[in-house]
Chain A
Amino acid sequence: MSKLFESASQTAGPYVHIGCVPNFCGIPDVYPNDLGERMVTDATPGERISITGAVYDGTGAPLKDVLVEIWQANSDGHYGSDASGFNGWGRQAGHGETGVWQFDTIKPGPVTHASGHLMAPHITFWIVARGINIGLHTRMYFPEDAAAHAGDPVLARIEHKPRIATLLASRQAAGMYHFNIYLQGPQETVFFDV
């Protein structure tokens, strides 16, 4: 079978909201709601959490036009939809003035890796914006799972161990996490070519 080539990526540009979150950017009535804006229902099992954060450029400024998607397992560590309507996928735009986004979701369970080891609870992040030529993949891990991080086969690939800290959220209060992503600079977040 002849192999095709993946289509080339192009930046999402400054107007990504029109296509992905039109209600957010003042285009109402075309779609009833913005896909991915609400992840959980009252019936979704698991520990309720909120994650806030911003994505920062090399000057230290937050990206006000960023679009962030997350993908995660359910509280049992399984991917896919459940009867409650939870499907593990969320999408939020950065606030137009501050760049801050927020996801209200549940804490995922650990997920099995092909090696047979468990990956510590984590949420996959995908970041697109003007000036980003191809979507960036990273992960958020939870600070309270330090023991599980030691055995995580993905974190084990990060040779420069101090950089693992860039993938850890900070815990502000019970169920409240903060996760900033830095595109450049001394705190540059680990991104994955996966």
Chain B
Amino acid sequence: MTDTKGGYMARDWTRQPPALTPSYKTSLTRSPQLAKISMPSTLSEETGPIFDHSILGPLDDDLILNFATPGEMALGPRIIVHGRLQDENGRGVPHALIEVWQANAGGRYRHKKEGYLAPLDPNFGGCGRVLTDEKGFYRFRTVKPGPYPWPNGVNDWRPAHIHFSVFGQSFAQRLITQMYFEGDPLIWRCPIVAAIPDRDAIERLIAPLDMQHTIPMDARAYRFDIVLRGRRASYFENRPEGT
């Protein structure tokens, strides 16, 4: 059995977006310009908040119902999103909190700074959360979000997407990303997607339709696996246990 209690493996910057990506205009003034200070992870990054089921309500994983008036449901194509949270060593990450948020089926967010003319759905809030199980698997139910225009270029459209905020077992693993949908032609036109410098890394954010888990006459399923950073094996590290 490999011991993986060494420090975190260095982030692979060939697969992560750089801070400055000029075609995504807001990054111009919000990107640090000096080199980051590199350092091996310390206890301050190798630990992180742990959550348990006491924080979850019964509808937290059901965006179709969790904001709806009792007896009503959110509008739009019903989908199940599921997958596995793993680390870079291929181990499932158990009991990890995943928070999601998204636009409604018309591409409109429930947010005061949102200006798109598509209507709000009175039965859709747009947030949900779930804890992974012992092996790192998770699932939630929602409606497929619509694409929407955004002020960047004159005619930029976001592909349909769901935002994911992921906690692992440590602060070093903290990640926010977005899930896209197989077959969406807007993916390859999106400046935010294009911030990722590696085509394979982009493709891993595109969830395929999963007919195996589709519920007949009810909801289609999409599979979205997420990988967090992993730790090195510690065979040769002179590192006091428990520190």
Contacts and interface: CB of A to CB of B under 8 A. Distances in A.
Interface residues on B, range: 35 or more
Contact of A8 (B15, B87, B109, B228): B15
Given A22-B127, A27-B127, A193-B37, A1 B196 contact: no
A2 B227 CA distance: 13
A8 B111 contact: no
Nearest to A73: B44
B16 A9 contact: yes
How would you classify the secondary structure of chain B's contact residues: helix, strand, loop or mixed? loop
Interface residues of A, number: 77
Interface string A1-33: 111111111111111111110100111011110
A122 B39 CA distance: 16
Chain A interface secondary structure, helix, strand, loop or mixed? Answer: loop
A190 B37 contact: yes
A119 B192 contact: no
Given A9-B177, A192-B39, A4 B88 contact: yes
B30 A183 contact: yes
B32 interface: yes
A135 B2 CA distance: 30
B55 interface: yes
Interface string A44-77: 0000000000000111000101000101010000
B159 to A, nearest CB: 11
Interface string B192-230: 110110101110110000000000000000000011111
A17 B126 CA distance: 11
A95 B38 CA distance: 31
Interface string A154-193: 1001100000000000000000000000011000111111
A2 B87 CA distance: 11
Contacts of B26: 130-131
Contacts of B75: none
